[in-house]
Amino acid sequence: MIDRVKTAAVLALCLAGHAAAQEEKADPKADARRLIEEAKGKRGKAAVELYASAIEKDPSNPDGWVGRARERRHAEPMAALADLARPKAVKEDVTEAQFWRAVVLHDALLDRVGAWDEFQRCSRGSAQVEFAFLGAGAQKMLIGDWVRAEEDFDRAIKANPSAPLAWRFKAQCAYELNNALARDAAQQAVKLWPEDPSVQATGALVTGMENLDLAVSDLDRILAEYPALAWAALCKARVLIRHSKFEAALSALDALSRTVPGSSDVQVQRGHALAGLDRELESEAAFDRAFAWDPNCVAALEGRAALHRKTGRLDALIRDLKLTQKFRDQNENIRISQEITDIEKKRELAAGAIFSAAGHCERAELFAREGNWEGAEKSLADADGVDPKERRIRVTRLRVYAKKKDLEKLKQTVQQAIDDGEAGFSWVYDRSPEGNEWFGELNKDPQFETWARGLELKAPEDLYNRATMYYEIAGTLKGDAARQTGLYRESALEYRTMCDRFPQHSAVAGAYYNEACCWSLIREVDKAFGALDLAIDRGFDQVEHMEKNDTDLANMRSDGRWPAIVRKLKDKVEKPK
């Protein structure tokens, strides 16, 4: 009796186990879900095979199609697009499929307009905050609105800090803005998704901001494994253009054009490479094609506008600026409108009759900006013919020579101005925005410092500005303490020379103060206190700046004399007049 009971129990257990197994076997949807979860922990071929098995068991599950497309998009972009078309057919929530379709179109450079449309659908129709912000940001990114695009990607990161594509796209925006934060964003994207070649390519693009060889090496490695990844090839071309390797970039882009013949992104970069080689007509044709293929390609408009600035085609430049305005926000449009107004004014100036020396000088500067040296020289000659003693003529002549990089003529003109008692050096060491436009590049040339040091300066403004030049150069030096100390010393002595020779000049108080800063920076504190005392005697009155804010005086603040000199300044400033 006992044996029969045991036998029946065992039999019942076997039958129950068999029924459960049959039930599990008969549930392909559960099998598919299990395979999809397993695939999420894999990458590459292993993941593709698991997703394929899941699709075979349950073709109605969109996660299988999206997952397989995501994994095969680099090597087989067309097959990935076919997979991403399936979720729509099974009428599920297709936001993720739309997003990845847009990413495939973007990375394969297949259809910029199509990518924009899909990103727009994600931004408008997604219930998932992450996809909504990613879609909105990617739309702005495609029309070159980098600042606002980066803001959307920041919102996507806030919603999901582990979203690698949000970090990747943020890095792209920061790269376009030439922002050092691009490195941090790219590193975070690679950290979150180290196996993804598109993320790796973006990281290499950012590396190329500083290191050409390392970036090209990384991109060549990616392309060797994923030759169909057009995004990596485009990044390589962009890195080469950034480092003025225009012929190599053009060769890479021509090869890419044969792979993706209708890509406006490729044409934009071809336009930049051709412009770098001074092949203006071909460059303009490339930008024209890019804009014709994608009317939202603002990069083509901006590239063509830069070309028109360079060649002086003002009517065409105004046309492109006006076309750009429809893609920009209110603040940016105000800036563009002002530029258009300035161009129209210059165009009228270039065409109209001029009767004053100042008018001829304005025209000469207009020609210089356009690189029309013959026109600039003729306008200067016309100005001389009207009034050869007009001071503006000499200033304009210096601006023209600086733009032309004719340093010999520039030096001769400065020396002639100094000999005539003018502040000639101050004209070419002008720290205002306008002065920086004309002389900024010249001031960075090491030969400029050597030449300036040899000048026999006579005007107080020149002595003050040469002292400032020594101070500013010293502040840029890293790892050369001896040269830095020497320059601060020269600056201090030059400020003192200016004060001794022109004791009644209005800038004397500031010169003594700057002298004190220089002595403090090289720890000659006794001299620093002496100069600071003279600055206060001559009217220096910026209490808070001296007492708390000016880091140049840091070496003086621990000295026992510091409280007394601060008290002296406060007493003088607070004393009733």
Q: Cα(544)–Cα(557) distance, rounded to whole angstroms?
A: 13
Q: Is pLDDT above 80 for 26? A: no
Confidence of residue 349 (pLDDT cuts 50, 70, 90): low
Residue with token string 């000999």: 419
Confidence of residue 89 (pLDDT cuts 50, 70, 90): very low
Residue with token string 């150069």: 473
Confidence of residue 90 (pLDDT cuts 50, 70, 90): very low
**H/E segment holding residue 13:** helix 2-25
Tell which residue, 458, 455, 459, 494, has the closest CA to residue 473: 494
198-222 per-position pLDDT tens digit: 999 999 999 999 999 999 999 999 9
150-199 per-position pLDDT tens digit: 999 999 999 999 999 999 999 999 999 988 889 999 999 999 989 889 99
Mean pLDDT over all residues of the chain? 87
Confidence of residue 1 (pLDDT cuts 50, 70, 90): very low
As a whole number, mean pLDDT of residues 403-417 equals 91
Confidence of residue 127 (pLDDT cuts 50, 70, 90): low
Would you list the domain boundaries of the chain?
1-115, 353-433
Confidence of residue 526 (pLDDT cuts 50, 70, 90): very high
Q: What is the pTM of this model?
A: 0.58
Six token digits for residue 539: 């009217």
Confidence of residue 464 (pLDDT cuts 50, 70, 90): very high
The superfamily (CATH) of domain 1-115 is: Tetratricopeptide repeat domain (1.25.40.10)
Tell which residue, 96, 80, 176, 174, has the closest CA to residue 135: 96
249-307 per-position pLDDT tens digit: 999 999 998 888 889 999 999 999 999 998 988 999 999 999 998 888 999 999 999 98
Six token digits for residue 41: 């922990």
Q: Is pLDDT above 70 for 14? A: no
Mean pLDDT lowest among 64-78, 314-328, 390-404: 64-78
Confidence of residue 235 (pLDDT cuts 50, 70, 90): very high
Q: Cα(314)–Cα(308) distance, rounded to whole angstroms?
A: 7
Q: Is pLDDT above 80 for 576? A: no
